[in-house]
């Protein structure tokens, strides 16, 4: 079975994000970038399935600027076989990414698509679900366990009430949650090997996809600074402040 994994280049999660002075977005110039953590988990899952003999080929796809090739090379160093970059300058919104991925799926014919449950930059949590709808495939979001059994997959999902176990027919789209696995450390020898693995660069026009933005960001601003705490004399004063000042009860 061939597996397609979608990945995204984002600001390194260990970096403090700064808002641009003009409020048009987040500062990315001269900022360390990395693979979205949930996408790393998706790649790791595909690699583990290949090591178990379930998967025969792993194709990783990124939609974004030229520098996204670095992120693809990281995925290749983790164990993916081929990379595809659909090169787009500027912002790419979830619906556009889903349309691009659908075109890639139609071309590659994978038996399973794995994405991260969300990207840590926009937190949209939409691409996997939109792709499922466009393809007409079953989906399972926020998965913490995945087992392939013949023509279906047994899934454990993380939901508000705890864990949900479902079975979906393949081909399908699944989105990886935090507890699905822990991504491996990428070694230097594998980084060197990844440089020789095939990496194809395409344009959206070649796939017949319109990636024009449908949404406009009006302003980006930092959340207000947290105020200083206060000490209360007793429970009655605490309840009074929660009720009359904070208005949470």
pLDDT number for residue 21: 86
pLDDT number for residue 157: 94
pLDDT number for residue 25: 85
pLDDT number for residue 24: 84
In 29-159, alpha helices (H): 37-51, 68-78, 94-108, 127-135
pLDDT number for residue 168: 96
In the chain, alpha helices (H): 37-51, 68-78, 94-108, 127-135, 188-194, 204-207, 235-244
pLDDT number for residue 37: 96
Q: Are strands 9-11 and 2-7 parallel, antiparallel or unpaired?
A: unpaired
CB atoms within 10 A of CB 144: 16
How many Cα atoms sit within 13 Å of 88 on the Cβ side? 24
pLDDT number for residue 105: 97
Domains of the chain: 2-224 (3.40.50.620)
* φ, ψ dihedrals at 110, nearest 5°: -75, 160
Q: Which tokens is 48 given?
A: 């583990």
Which helix (H) or strand (E) segment holds residue 187: the answer is: none
pLDDT number for residue 226: 83
pLDDT number for residue 227: 81
* Per-residue pLDDT in tens (0 to 9) along the chain, 249 residues: 999 999 999 999 998 888 888 888 888 888 899 999 999 999 999 999 999 999 999 999 999 999 999 999 999 999 999 999 999 988 899 999 999 999 999 999 999 999 999 999 889 999 999 999 999 999 999 999 999 998 999 999 998 888 999 999 999 999 999 999 999 999 999 999 999 999 999 999 999 999 998 888 889 888 888 888 889 999 999 999 999 988 888
pLDDT number for residue 233: 92
Residue matched to tokens 């990395």: 34
Using alpha carbons, list the distances in angstroms from residue 181 to 15, 37, 49: 23, 11, 12
DSSP letter at 231 equals -
Residue matched to tokens 């996997």: 128
Q: What is the four-CA torsion angle of 59, 62, 63, 68, rounded to 10 degrees?
A: -140
pLDDT number for residue 128: 95
pLDDT number for residue 28: 85
pLDDT number for residue 223: 85
List the beta bridge partners of residue 146.
Answer: 155
Q: Which tokens is 62 given?
A: 């990124």
DSSP letter at 228 equals P
* φ, ψ dihedrals at 25, nearest 5°: 170, -165
Q: What is the secondary structure of 145-185 as a DSSP string? A: EEEEETTEEEEEEEETTEEEEEEEESSEEEEE-GGG--PPP
């Amino acid at each position: 079975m061939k597996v397609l994994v979608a990945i995204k280049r984002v600001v390194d999660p260990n970096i403090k994000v700064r808002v641009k002075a003009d409020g048009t977005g987040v500062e990315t110039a001269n900022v360390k970038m990395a693979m979205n953590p949930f996408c790393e988990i998706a790649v790791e899952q595909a690699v583990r399935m290949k090591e178990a003999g379930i998967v025969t080929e792993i194709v990783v796809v990124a939609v974004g600027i030229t520098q996204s090739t670095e992120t693809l090379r990281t995925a290749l160093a983790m164990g993916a076989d081929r990379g595809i970059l659909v090169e787009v300058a500027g912002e790419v919104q979830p619906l556009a990414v889903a349309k691009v991925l659908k075109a890639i799926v139609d071309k590659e014919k994978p038996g399973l698509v794995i994405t991260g449950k969300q990207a840590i930059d926009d937190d949209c949590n939409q691409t996997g679900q939109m792709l499922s709808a466009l393809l007409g495939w079953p989906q399972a979001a926020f998965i913490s366990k995945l087992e392939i059994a013949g023509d279906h997959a047994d899934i454990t999902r993380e939901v508000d009430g705890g864990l949900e176990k479902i079975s979906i027919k393949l081909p399908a789209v699944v989105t990886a949650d935090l507890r699905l696995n822990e991504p491996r450390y990428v070694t230097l020898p594998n980084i060197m090997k990844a440089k020789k693995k095939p990496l194809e660069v395409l344009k959206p026009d070649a796939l017949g996809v319109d990636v024009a933005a449908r949404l406009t960001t009006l302003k980006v601003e930092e959340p207000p600074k947290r105020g200083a705490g206060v000490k209360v004399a007793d429970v009655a004063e605490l309840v009074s402040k929660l009720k009359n000042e904070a208005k949470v009860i």
